[in-house]
Chains A and B, each alone.
Chain A
Amino acid sequence: MTTTVIQTVGLVRRVEGAISHVLVNGIDLSVSKGEFLAITGPSGSGKSSLLYLLGLLDAPTEGEIFVGGRATSGLTESEKADLRLKTCGFVFQFHFLLPEFTALDNVLLPMRTLGRLSMPDMRAKALALLTSLGLAEQVDKRPNQLSGGQRQRVALARALANDPAIIVADEPTGNLDTASTEQVFGVLRDIASQGRTVIVVTHDPGLAARADRRIQIVDGKIAQETWLSKERPAAGQAPSGPVEPS
């Protein structure tokens, strides 16, 4: 039995302007708990746009996104920020760590913003996260003292800080060498196997092939959907409409 974590219905994202164009053109997608979903496609196909929509960073022009069964179109920017803080972890191609802060402080950032734990608990948790990612020696270093792979792992630790249900990663290995890529990808796999949903946009066919499901986006639409492992949801559970709020 699979639980739908995030679901989209008729998702459209249009950019209005002198030359209006459609980034995402009617996508219906349902992603389950513990699923590792890879989104591939040529440059400009709309795969990143779709990812930002799924991560609630961007708002759709049409359609609806349900997170944990809850419709998100009516939320204010602040409510969306709160929802991102609790349910989404982001990893980007560029690490986006705050340069003046140590690795530990960067990981503490989302925790402190949420403010659910006491400071010693937060520190302990952040240290555990960094240690689990092989960064025990690097906790007090600033981003410019770390290698590319280390930075990206710190960014991963930061994304995991608030135990989000969904990890959204945009080309997380795009700037990394083979060894680092392998390491980061391995971590993402582990996260998925721990029951979290991981959605990754990648250019790397080798990596995409190791996901549970691969969807290819062309011109803002799903051109191809391939189930690589795990069982495809039963027909009755296939995404057809909004899930009931849990």
Chain B
Amino acid sequence: MNLLFEIAWTHVTTRIRQTLVGILGVAIGVGFTIMIAGLMEGSQRDFIRQLVDTLPHVTVSDERRSASTQPAEREYAAVQVTNLPAADRRAGIKNPNTVVASIESWLPGAISPSEQTTALIHYGGGHVGVTVTGIDPRREIRVSKLASQMQQGQVDDLFRASNAVIVGEALAQKIGAQVRSTVTVSVGEAHSLSATVVGIFRSGVHQIDDTQVFALLRTAQVLSGQPGGINQLRLRLDDAVAAKDVAGRIEAQTGYKSVSWQEANANLLSAFTVRAFIMLTVMAAMLFTSCFATYNIISTITHEKRHDIAIMKSLGMREAFVRGIFIVEAAIMGAVGIVAGWGLGYLLCYGLSRITFFNPLSGEIINVPIYWTPTHYAAVGALSLIACAAAAFFPARKATRVHPVEIIRGAA
């Protein structure tokens, strides 16, 4: 065996207690860092998954990104028209069936046209502002999780009564409505109809559960006064991550504003960046702390071994060689500690994933979300090993720099 490794190995194996403390320090650092990483990334991914599940991946609305120009402006450079309704402006998506068909021809996913309007819902003397979305239940179940979010009734129940509506759970509680209650939905003075609640859903997103009402497309079109009108296309893709590209393509193709879920939740996603930074800081701090254990132990060992260091140097071993002995010792402790830390981290993650808690937002009992990935183990392990070597380097350098004469004189 290589002399350097042999000396290092002899040192760590003859001082079992010290070695164990060093290994334990690294193991605890690695274990808890892996736990934090799994927990943070798990909760983040869980949140995004809920977000992606609840909302359409892409929403195409009848808005434009910028105000449209007047025909005269397009024709003559000198003309400027301000504050005049656009000539071609008409509510809703033009020729919705053609648009839907053309998108469907290439779309890797499903599309559901809907008519959305704001309305007031009246029940028992109270009235609340809501968003009414007119849907085609057969298409809707392919673009949203509405079917699985139903607490009472089913999506198809919309066909069961004339002017049937499905309301969010929070909204139902707020107005005190139940299934089979008859509510009045109105848009301004003109359009008002009485509707029957046939179902209650819970998406887990409070903002939706508090304001969303689903009705048949036809009912919503009556409310908005746009018979046959479609002002929103909602898409669900096979690959949610592709939403950004798909939205861009649809916008380029149709000119209608297409918003991907990433764009709609840009604030939230940027908050995750900050969260990721905080997570990395916490993890770095934990690893740094566990480094101190290594630092301490190597300091102690080099102090105890100062006679050995002096004699090895006086025999003619180079300083770098003697320093290497202690760095290898730290690396050995680090390597064993990392493997032990992996085990500890796995157990901690497993233990946490067994814990369930009540989510007051969705009213569900859920498991603590843990994200399992070998990347965490590899990254934390690699960082730890480097940190260990660095933590050993400084005390080892200090100890091996000492002139052997100083030690030999002191010992005599």
Q: Does B67 contact A (CB under 8 A)?
A: no
A48 and B316: CB pair below 8 A?
no
Which residue, A83, A98, A171, has most C-beta atoms of chain B within 10 A? A98
Pick from B308, B310, B315, B319: contact of A78, CB under 8 Å: B319
Q: Does B404 contact A (CB under 8 A)?
A: yes
A-B interface pairs (CB < 8 A), number: 78
Q: Does B409 contact A (CB under 8 A)?
A: yes
A100 and B314: CB pair below 8 A?
no
A81 and B408: CB pair below 8 A?
no
Give the residues in chain A near B311, CB-CB below 8 Å.
90, 92, 96-98
Interface residues of B in 314-335 (CB under 8 A from A): 314-321
Pick from B319, B320, B412: contact of A94, CB under 8 Å: B412
Distance (Å) between the CB of A21 and the closest chain B CB?
A: 14
Mark each residue of chain B from 395 to 408: 1 if its CB lies under 8 Å from any CB of chain A, else 0: 00000000111001
B405 and A113: CB pair below 8 A?
no
Give the residues in chain A near B274, CB-CB below 8 Å.
none
B307 and A96: CB pair below 8 A?
yes
Q: Given A58-B403, A113-B3, A96–B317 Cβ distance below 8 Å?
A: no
What CA separation (Å) do A77 and B7 show in the bound complex? Answer: 22
Give the residues in chain B near A97, CB-CB below 8 Å.
311
Q: Does B14 contact A (CB under 8 A)?
A: yes
Distance (Å) between the CB of A78 and the closest chain B CB?
A: 5
Which residue, B308, B311, B321, has most C-beta atoms of chain A within 10 A? B311
Mark each residue of chain B from 168 to 185: 1 if its CB lies under 8 Å from any CB of chain A, else 0: 000000000000000000
B10 and A100: CB pair below 8 A?
yes
Q: Does B57 contact A (CB under 8 A)?
A: no
A98 and B308: CB pair below 8 A?
yes
Q: Does B355 contact A (CB under 8 A)?
A: no
Q: Does A101 contact B (CB under 8 A)?
A: yes
A58 and B412: CB pair below 8 A?
no
Closest partner residue, chain B, to A93 (CB atom)? B412
B405 and A52: CB pair below 8 A?
yes
Mark each residue of chain A from 67 to 82: 1 if its CB lies under 8 Å from any CB of chain B, else 0: 0000000000110011
A101 and B10: CB pair below 8 A?
yes
A85 and B316: CB pair below 8 A?
yes
Closest partner residue, chain B, to A174 (CB atom)? B412
Q: Does B236 contact A (CB under 8 A)?
A: no
Interface residues of A in 167-226 (CB under 8 A from B): 170-171, 174
What CA separation (Å) do A98 and B105 show in the bound complex? Answer: 80
Give the residues in chain A near B405, CB-CB below 8 Å.
52, 57-58
What CA separation (Å) do A88 and B315 show in the bound complex? Answer: 8
Distance (Å) between the CB of B14 and the closest chain A CB?
A: 5
Which residue, B314, B315, B320, B405, has most C-beta atoms of chain A within 10 A? B315
Q: Given A48-B409, A52-B405, A92-B408, A113–B310 Cβ distance below 8 Å?
A: no
B315 and A90: CB pair below 8 A?
yes
Interface residues of A in 114-128 (CB under 8 A from B): 114
What CA separation (Å) do A234 and B321 show in the bound complex? Answer: 44
What CA separation (Å) do A176 and B249 show in the bound complex? Answer: 92
Give the residues in chain A near B319, CB-CB below 8 Å.
77-78, 81
Distance (Å) between the CB of A220 and the closest chain B CB?
A: 16
Distance (Å) between the CB of A172 and the closest chain B CB?
A: 11
Closest partner residue, chain B, to A78 (CB atom)? B318
Interface residues of B in 1-43 (CB under 8 A from A): 3, 7, 10-11, 14
Give the residues in chain A near B3, CB-CB below 8 Å.
109, 112-113
Residues of A within 8 Å of B, CB-based: how many? 33
A109 and B412: CB pair below 8 A?
no
Give the residues in chain B near A88, CB-CB below 8 Å.
316
Give the residues in chain B near A78, CB-CB below 8 Å.
318-320
Give the residues in chain A near B14, CB-CB below 8 Å.
100
Closest partner residue, chain A, to B403 (CB atom)? A58
B403 and A109: CB pair below 8 A?
no
A171 and B412: CB pair below 8 A?
yes
Which residue, B3, B312, B314, B403, has most C-beta atoms of chain A within 10 A? B314
Distance (Å) between the CB of B58 and the closest chain A CB?
A: 67
Give the residues in chain B near A86, CB-CB below 8 Å.
316
Q: Does B257 contact A (CB under 8 A)?
A: no
What CA separation (Å) do A101 and B390 show in the bound complex? Answer: 28
Give the residues in chain B near A110, CB-CB below 8 Å.
315-316
Give the residues in chain B near A94, CB-CB below 8 Å.
307, 408, 411-412
B315 and A158: CB pair below 8 A?
yes
A57 and B404: CB pair below 8 A?
yes
A90 and B403: CB pair below 8 A?
no
Distance (Å) between the CB of A72 and the closest chain B CB?
A: 14
What CA separation (Å) do A99 and B304 show in the bound complex? Answer: 11
Closest partner residue, chain A, to B411 (CB atom)? A94
Closest partner residue, chain B, to A87 (CB atom)? B316
What CA separation (Å) do A149 and B52 show in the bound complex? Answer: 81
Give the residues in chain A near B308, CB-CB below 8 Å.
96, 98-99
Distance (Å) between the CB of A45 and the closest chain B CB?
A: 14
Give the residues in chain A near B403, CB-CB below 8 Å.
57-58
Q: Does B376 contact A (CB under 8 A)?
A: no
9 A-B pairs in the complex with CB atoms less than 8 angstroms apart:
A57-B403, A77-B319, A81-B318, A85-B316, A93-B412, A100-B14, A114-B316, A170-B412, A171-B412
What is A's interface to B at a CB cutoff of 8 Å? 48, 52, 55, 57-58, 77-78, 81-86, 88, 90, 92-94, 96-101, 109-110, 112-114, 158, 170-171, 174
Extra 19 A-B pairs, beta carbons < 8 Å, given A81-B317, A81-B319, A84-B315: A48-B409, A52-B405, A52-B408, A55-B314, A77-B318, A78-B319, A82-B316, A84-B314, A85-B317, A88-B316, A90-B314, A92-B411, A96-B310, A97-B311, A98-B308, A113-B315, A113-B317, A170-B408, A170-B412
**For the complex of A and B, 5 pairs with smallest distance between CB atoms:** A85-B316, A96-B311, A84-B316, A100-B10, A100-B14
